[in-house]
Amino acid sequence: SIAYLNGEYMALEEARISPLDRGFLFGDGIYEVIPYYGGKSVGLIPHIERMIDGLGSIEIKCNKSVDEWKELLDEVIARNDGANQNLGVYVHVSRGADTKRFHAYPENVEPTIFCFTFAIKDPEPVDREKVTAYSVTTTQDLRWKRCHIKSTALLGNVMHFQQGYASGNNECLLYNDKNELTEGSSVNAFIVKDGVVITPIQDNQILPGITRRIIIDSLKADGSIPVEERTVTMDEVLNADEVWISSSSKEIAPVVKIDDKPVGDGKVGQVWEKAFGIYTAAKF
Ligand code: PDD
């Protein structure tokens, strides 16, 4: 596939960065993953805005405007035949290559900008009998206290994901030291109880997921399913009627097993099907 690196397009295998790049040495960077279905993006502007916010919060100076980012990402998709397939585009901005390894932010270093695409699956059917169902484990959230920043330093997330994966599950749901749900290692989380959709509030404990936002906004606009953003205890998670996880690549994925125990009746729920229909109609 065709990658973009610092102003140039090239075959992905040909892309090279310096080992002194702070993204490599320190995980000092911000990234995004944006889905495009047949060339049409989902949440592109909010993704770009979140990246610009993240870059601002770690003082990486990258002067591209929202429009310039949009043009670049659309171009990367076009060069990879995005109109004829479903692609995710990965965008990475690191602080760039210094001349030495020193913790402080260097002056006068150009950020490294890297994009590449990868194939993503067709959207799942809006059908509770046919959709792929997920199983998850749970563990205490041992990441840092700045989870709202979409940092490329993902070791905490990677270790939690691996914990779920190694035990044959698709994800790992995380809780803080008050036994409150935060999110999953690469997804936001929702529960459904008595017909109400509930998701943890957006604070420093979770990534402000774009899919999460589209879900909340589209359900609110539709009006037929109540939505609450509030603290969710693990007790509520384990006694929920339904549990969902969301991300740009998974959209809204139903979870039917947590730590080997069924969620609700162990089948994908009716609220999921209704909500996924509403989301699917609203996402572009
Ligand atoms: N993961 N929470 C975490 C920790 C994430 O890494 C992600 C995204 C999400 C969902 O955010 P969004 O709806 O904006 O994709 C929540 C991406 C896809 C990844 O790391 O590959």
Confidence of residue 39 (pLDDT cuts 50, 70, 90): very high
Q: Find out whether 174 and 138 touch, Cβ atoms under 8 Å.
A: yes
Structure confidence by residue, pLDDT tens digits, 57-90: 999 999 999 999 999 999 999 999 999 999 999 9
- How far does residue 201's CA lie from ligand 1's centre (Å)? 16
Burial grade of 103 (CB within 10 A; 0-12, 13-18, 19 or more)? exposed
Among the listed residues 64, 150, 178, 257, the single catalytic one is: 150
What SS3 state is found at 214?
Answer: helix
Ligand 1 and 183: CB distance under 6 A:
yes
Domains of the chain: 2-119 (3.30.470.10), 134-282 (3.20.10.10)
Tell if the pTM clears 0.95, that is, is over it.
Answer: yes
Whose CA is closest to atom 5 on ligand 1?
Answer: 186
- How far does residue 22's CA lie from ligand 1's centre (Å)? 22
- The ipTM value here is 0.98
The yes-or-no answer on residue 150 being catalytic is yes
Phi/psi at 36 (5° precision): -125, 120
Whose CA is closest to atom 8 on ligand 1?
Answer: 186
Pocket test for ligand 1, best of 116, 117, 172, 186 (most atoms within 8 A of CB): 186
- How far does residue 209's CA lie from ligand 1's centre (Å)? 6
For the residues 29-52, what does the mean pLDDT come to?
98
Structure confidence by residue, pLDDT tens digits, 83-136: 999 999 999 999 999 999 999 999 999 999 999 999 999 999 999 999 999 999
Structure confidence by residue, pLDDT tens digits, 191-237: 999 999 999 999 999 999 999 999 999 999 999 999 999 999 999 99
As a whole number, the mean pLDDT across the chain is: 98
Q: Find out whether 39 and 87 touch, Cβ atoms under 8 Å.
A: no
Q: How many helices (H) and strands (E) does the chain have?
A: 7, 15
